[in-house]
Amino acid sequence: MLPARARDVVRARHAVFILTATVLVIAGCTPSALPSPSPAAPAVPASATAAPAPSRPAASPVTLTLTFGGDVHFVGRNAALLRNPRTAIGSFAKQLTAADLAMVNLESAVTTRGTPEPKDFHFRAPPSAYTALAAAGIDVASLANNHALDYGRVGLADTLDHAARADFAVVGAGRNVDEAYAPYVVTIRGVRVAIIGLSQIHTLAAEWMPTTTRSGVAMSHDRTRSVEAVRRARAMADVVVVFMHWGVERSNCPKEEMRTFAAAMADAGATMVVGTHAHVPLAGGFIGNTYVHYGLGNFVWYLNSDSVLLTLRVTAVPSGGPDQARVAIAVVTPGVVTSSGRPAPVTGARASAVRSRLAASQRCARLAAEPSSQVS
């Protein structure tokens, strides 16, 4: 279940359904069912002028806190964490719960069925995985990754069905192409936030790509559809988040494919682009006014490794659109995946070691330290 804080949540495809239903109702009206026309209103003298409409005060900017963790699954030693789902995520749950919105990458099918796909690693979890995420204050999970279809389309159908039963928001995969690329949209203190999940992994990409009649994962390889998805989200929201699965495993430097796609997302109107997959943290910064963080590393994982929690403070104007939204502060909290499989913040020498590796990543990220302009 979602945290207690109340939110107005709308899927883009639901809005399309409502609009279609409304059109059908109107089209079904017959002339006999329409009310008789009212008498014509008296003419307004030419000299009369309408009173000016009262001006509405401009909406004040709102600051939201968005928090992101990296890759999560519950296999190997991590399977035991789901014996008590409320403690499965560990000590970072405090920061996740405090955020206005928190998100991770669920790198797993949620199923007990299906046939393993022809690939090296296969991850799956029981439905209590969603209970664990929600209990830690996580609001949204991306399924746009290279493990959501590990157990085929039967496994993906279960993953989506279990999310719906848990009332837990997922993005980046769907029963058809429109569902897969559809944003999750939520209103927080008047600010509408739209989130899109995309994968840039090439393994089985053609086989896992969705169509109008086939389920699958939203792929960034379809550049035209990906850009259009961001533009549609921009038209309906004040903040647009693109959550990516990309990169080279164990490399803390982004490859050129990542850089060019991040620039395309910025051009399309993304407020931020946040990524996972490399299993090591990468660096963050700006492309124009769009904040980009190339990789968050592991979060709940079966191997010990560096981990970070990314906290972004975003200023936005309710109904002002993404042009009025900016990432004002980005805070990276260094951590490690412990022997329990859970992430935990670190201090002292361990924190310094994580920061040193992040600094090396920063040198090859080619991102600006500040946005190119500020909202006036």
pLDDT by residue (tens digit) across 176-191?
Answer: 999 999 999 999 999 9
**Of all residues in the chain, what percent carry a pLDDT higher than 90?**
83
Task: Report the CATH architecture of 62-365.
Answer: 4-Layer Sandwich (3.60)
Q: What percent of the chain has pLDDT over 70?
A: 84
* Distance between CA atoms of residues 317 and 312, nearest Å: 16
Q: Per-residue pLDDT averaged across 170-175, rounded?
A: 98
With a cut of 50, say whether residue 35 has pLDDT above it: no
In angstroms, the CA 176 to CA 221 distance is 16
Residue 48 has pLDDT above 60, yes or no: no
What pLDDT is attached to residue 40?
43
Global pTM?
0.86
List pLDDT tens digits, range 58-103: 789 999 999 999 999 999 999 999 999 999 999 999 999 999 999 9
Q: Where do the domains of the chain lie?
A: 62-365
**Quick one: pLDDT at residue 59?**
86
